[in-house]
Every structure is written in structure tokens, then in C-alpha cells.
Amino acid sequence: MNLIPDFKIGLWNAWIPILLFLLMNYVVLPLVNPKALKRAAAMPRERGARIIASISMPIYFLVLAYTIFLPLKLCTLWFWIGLPVYLVGLTFYTVAIVNYATAPLDRTITHGIYQISRHPIYVAFLVVALGIGLMSASWIFLVFFVLIIGFLNHLSLLAEERFCLDKYGDDYREYMETVRRYLGRFKKKM
């Protein structure tokens, strides 16, 4: 990794893996269940969640714009380390999106990958970002996306958990006692 990463527009830049990631979200989800988009758009209405969203969105767009100018380091060790990390994250994300889309709209999602993570979409998002950062050998992308966006996503999912507790009540509380926030299960059975 260079102290100052390359900054040039190119065909083989980080926008390609970002585009594949976005296609999963905006193509797979509506194809599997268009009604799931409505649930995905339902945001916690509390003031803190709105503030986090208003901070996060411009940062997401800046990072997306940066990927247009961020070359992938093809045929380097960084690329070959980052590619499998990215593919694992993309696979995890796709499974999470399909599980999300196929869940009943009026109940807590507890099947599939949601049995090992209460927030698999957020986890996969960070793994994808880590893979892209490695494939491009960009410490700026890694620090900005993985740390800053990871922190903002953590704040968002805390608000999302409060929202789910209000909406689903004891069903979600029991789920929280069984499945860890990021990865893993507790000993108690569902």
C-alpha cells in the first residue's frame, strides 16, 4: 500500500466491484420480492437515526465517487488477497438480501443467515468494503470506508434495533437474546 494512492479515472477501477454490490441491492431484492423494498425503506423515525442518516449519506456518495478514481491493483498480492475477501462479502450479502426478501413482512427475520447475525447486511457491507480496499491497495478507502462507515453503520443499527423492538416487541427481544449483533449465536435456543 502506498502512502498516497493512485488517483485516476480508468476502466479497471474500484467502481466495478461497487457496481456489482449495488446491483445485488437494487436488482436482486426487487426481483425476489418487490414488497421487501417497502420494509427496507422504513427507517427508524427517531431524531438520532435521522441525524446519522444525514451524516452517512454524503459520506457514502463521496466514497462512491472516489471509487471512480481508484484503480484496482490487478495482478498484485493486494488484489489477490482482497478478491476472495470481496467475494465472501458479496456472497454473504446476496444470501442476506435473499433471506431478507423472502421473510414475512410482518415478523422478525430469523431464518437463513439471520440465525447467525442480527445484521448480516451490515456485516457483509463491511467485508465487501474491506475486500475493495485491499484490491485497490488504498489505505484511504480502508480507513474511510471500513472505520468511519463502520462506526456510522453501528450507530444506524443501534437505532434499527430500537425500531425493531418497538415494532416486533418480545419476538425481537427474544431474537436479540439468541443471536449476536454481528456474528454468532448465544447458547439459548430460539
Q: Do the domain assignments include residue 26? A: yes
CATH for 131: 1.20.120.1630
Q: Do the domain assignments include residue 21? A: yes
Q: What total of structural domains would you count in the chain? A: 1
Domain span at 25: 15-178
C-alpha to C-alpha distance for 140 and 182, rounded to whole angstroms:
24
The per-residue pLDDT for range 120-154, each reduced to its tens digit, is 998 998 899 999 999 999 888 888 777 777 888 88
pLDDT category of residue 51 using cuts at 50, 70 and 90: confident
Q: Do the domain assignments include residue 78? A: yes
Q: Do the domain assignments include residue 73? A: yes
Cα-Cα end-to-end distance for the chain? 45
pLDDT of residue 5: 65
pLDDT category of residue 189 using cuts at 50, 70 and 90: low
Average pLDDT, integer, range 63-79: 89
Q: Do the domain assignments include residue 173? A: yes
The structure's pTM equals 0.85
Q: Do the domain assignments include residue 101? A: yes
Q: Do the domain assignments include residue 9? A: no
Amino acid at residue number 112: G
Q: Out of 29-33, 100-104, 111-115, 179-183, which region has the weakest mean confidence (pLDDT)?
A: 29-33
User: Alpha carbon 91 to chain centroid distance?
Assistant: 12
Q: Do the domain assignments include residue 143? A: yes
